[in-house]
Amino acid sequence: MKISTKGRYALRMFLDLAEHQNSGYIALKDIADRQNISKKYLEQIIPIFNSSGILRTNRGAQGGYRLAKSADRCTIGEVLRLTEGSLAPVACGEEDPVTCERSNGCAMLSVWQGLYKVISEYLDSITLQDVLDRSKAFSDDYVI
């Protein structure tokens, strides 16, 4: 599995929103400037999250974006599933029941399912707040 630029940029956008969640609605331009991402690219990513329930939008002079839930309740897995689609390494890895005609004799099926389970559990166990906390701890350790 390879995470696309869209997925990586979406995570950076969400981490920025999490970091500034006490600042109200954040303009996309501000996120783009802080993250060194094209505003136009972020404008292409935003519609993915419009009906997802994890992002709030406010139009107007004080408009912008903010997390719809706290950073400690929004997982990396959730953001990546919305941007990337499935996190499974192969299609049959997440199917239940498996519809592949070869599944009864497939020696690799349990490997793919196991890998998908590990990936999902890992990414679903990390929240935006966890990443911010780890980043802060790392930067605090190396202050000169």
Range of the domain at 97: 5-141
Give the CATH number, domain containing residue 66.
1.10.10.10
Instruction: Pick the closest to residue 18 from 61, 78, 60 (CA basis).
Output: 78
Query: Which of the four pLDDT bands, split at 50, 70 and 90, describes residue 140?
Result: low
Tell me: the pLDDT tens digits for 2-61?
899 999 999 999 999 999 999 999 999 999 999 999 999 999 999 999 889 999 999 888
Return the structure tokens found at 103.
């599944």
| Amino acid 60: pLDDT | 83
DSSP 57: E
Helices (H), the chain: 5-19, 28-35, 39-45, 76-84, 109-124, 128-141
| Amino acid 129: pLDDT | 97
Number of domains in the chain: 1
Query: Which of the four pLDDT bands, split at 50, 70 and 90, describes residue 133?
Result: very high
Q: Residue for token digits 């991402």?
A: 37
Instruction: Pick the closest to residue 101 from 93, 89, 92 (CA basis).
Output: 92
Task: Tell me the longest C-alpha to C-alpha distance in the chain.
Answer: 61
Query: Which of the four pLDDT bands, split at 50, 70 and 90, describes residue 102?
Result: confident
| Amino acid 127: pLDDT | 98
Tell me: the pLDDT tens digits for 62-91?
889 999 999 999 999 999 999 999 898 888
| Amino acid 144: pLDDT | 45
